[in-house]
Each structure stands twice: as structure tokens, then as C-alpha cells.
Chains A and B, each alone.
Chain A
């Protein structure tokens, strides 16, 4: 998905007309008034040859400056798949929210909130149009002891195809780094821990839809109180030894089930 450079300064209801014709390469236009447009760039404006938006001859331009003293917009031509067009006097300029602008922001793609204990949560047919994938989660398991929280991709449930490393700090003590032959993204408290203590975490997967690099992730987590005092703040990173685009992600504790009130939200990042 094509994305636009920030900052974006979109304003609702920006609309005016130009007094003179403009060519297909001209990068400024004097309008009747530019007061209703963003005072500074960047934002998309749609130019329609005449009348209101919806004409068959149109172009999206990226406005980079607005001189409200002279009512002049400065812009880059031919945005969002359109080509440079010439327009007659009276052409309409309208501020427009486009796919490229939406693609400049992270967006929530899906979310699961558990109402009952569940062995695993899987997101499948993950949209491929973003640069990075991120999961924000709050989780706890029903095993007696704390358990590794694991991610697996594309229905590859073979732990040996994953490798991860983590550091943990509990109280004033650091735990030595540990290597795990699984896609570890954190540790979850179990039933031996104070009730209602969940682990919160964020797992980020850069370039998840690419097909060149082996898939890596990093994960930052925190557990308020756990029975094992060495597990409180935990940083993990790992990889799935595969270059395929990720279209499915499964989350589960190494043992037991995820309990009710566990939440996993999935976001696409530009």
C-alpha cells in the first residue's frame, strides 16, 4: 500500500475553485479562497474539472503549502495512481481522505477477547498490505506454574523451526539470558500466582509480508507479580526460520490454556 509522508494536516470541508485554467504540470494554483484548507501541508486535494467531486476528469495532488494571503496552493502532481491533467477555469479543489493517507497510520486489524479458557488463539488470512505487524496483548494461563507464551506462524507448529532469546529482571535481580527452541514472546503467570495478575506485552514483526528475510520478532513484556520473582520485566526476540510471508499467527501457552479476559489485538503498521 502506498503511503504518504507525515506530517498530514487534513482539514474537513476544504473546498474552492480556481479562477484560471491550470496545465497538467503546473504546481501552484490561485483559488477563490484557501482559508478552508490546512494552513500547512501535507494533505491530499482532489481537482475535478468542473462541478462537485465525482467528475470523470480528476486528479489527486499532494498539497505542501498554503499561502492564505494570496490564496495559493502549492502541490505535487499525480498522486494516488492518477496522472497529471489540465483543468479549465472553475475547476473544483476539494480536501480528500484517500487510501494513501489512511495507509500512513497504524490500524487495528482484528482483536480477540476471551470469555472462556482457550487453548490457543489464531489469526488467519492476515491482510498483507502493511509494512509491519504488531500484537498488543494481556494474557494469563491456567497452568499451575508460569508458562512460556509462544507465537507460531503459518500453521508451522514444529517448535524446532523457531528460536528465541530473552532477558528477564525481577525485583533487583537480573536473570541470565536464556535461549528457547520455540517462538517465545513472554511468560504468563499461572494459577500459583496472585489472582488477576496478567502479563502485558507487545510483539512486533517487521516486514511480515516480505519473502526475502527470515521472519524475526521482538517482544517487550511485564508481569506485575509472579510466583517466580525472576520473571517480571522480560524482553524477548526470536525468529521463525522461514522466509514466507506471514498470513497466520497462533498464540498459546506452552502448557495449559489462556484464561478468560485474555486479549490479543492485531495492528497493521505502515
Chain B
């Protein structure tokens, strides 16, 4: 068998290859710690492959992270507005404030 999800890893570690103190790098030497990789463990041979992300994968991650930050901002804004409405109603109505307290929703 071989690596299937990432068939051409840039670095390959072979553990337990008859060396009592550990394995060795079959390909590529140790990966750079600050560079993101996909890690794949081939359970049939025990080898571990490290595949660098492509430029397009990195660009996509950055774009999605920016979208995520923007989406979360609007979600948090909506949540704040909803809480403000609940608190205002709780100030007007003691019964509503008691209901919020019953459900563990902070009204202060």
C-alpha cells in the first residue's frame, strides 16, 4: 500500500525500521515547523507523510478566514441587538424578567 489521500508527500518518516532509537526520514528530511502540512499515516507500512499546502490551498484558507471573521461580526451584532431587546422588555415587565431568569438568560 501507499499514501492515498496525499500520494506524493514532500517528507516521509519511517518509524520503527529496525533502529532501536527510532526511525529515519525516507524523503525530504524534517518538515519546516512553521509551514503548514497535511499529515498522512499509512497504517499498512507505518510511514508518515507530510505534504506541503499548495499556494491555492493557502490562498483559499486566507479568503475563507476573512469571510468567517466578517460573518461572525454580523452574527455577533445580531445577537447583541436581540439581547438589547430582551433586556429592554425585562425592564418594562417583571414577569418577562422572571421568565428570562428561569431560562438562565442574563437580563442585566
Contact = CB atoms under 8 A, between A and B. Distances in A.
Contacts of A172: 104
Interface stretch (B19-27, B41-49, B80-88, B89-97): B41-49
A109 B69 CA distance: 38
Nearest to B40: A122
A124 B5 contact: yes
Contact of A127 (B4, B37, B43, B57): B43
Interface string A90-110: 000000000000000000011
A122 B64 contact: no
A256 B65 contact: yes
Which secondary structure characterizes the binding site on chain B? loop
Contacts of B5: 122, 124, 155, 248, 250
A122 B31 contact: no
A114 B106 CA distance: 40
B39 A118 contact: yes
Interface size class for chain B? 20 to 34
Contact of A119 (B37, B41, B45, B72): B37
B28 interface: no
B105 interface: yes
A120 B39 contact: yes
B36 interface: yes
Contacts of B38: 118-120, 122
Contact of A124 (B43, B57, B69, B72): B43
Indicate the member of A112, A118, A124, A266 with the most B CB atoms within 10 Å: A124
Given A173-B105, A248-B5, A250-B5, A121 B39 contact: yes
B40 to A, nearest CB: 4
Contact of A155 (B1, B4, B45, B64): B4
Interface in A164-200: 171-173
A120 B40 CA distance: 8
Interface of A: 109-110, 112, 114-127, 143-145, 155, 171-173, 247-248, 250, 255-257, 266
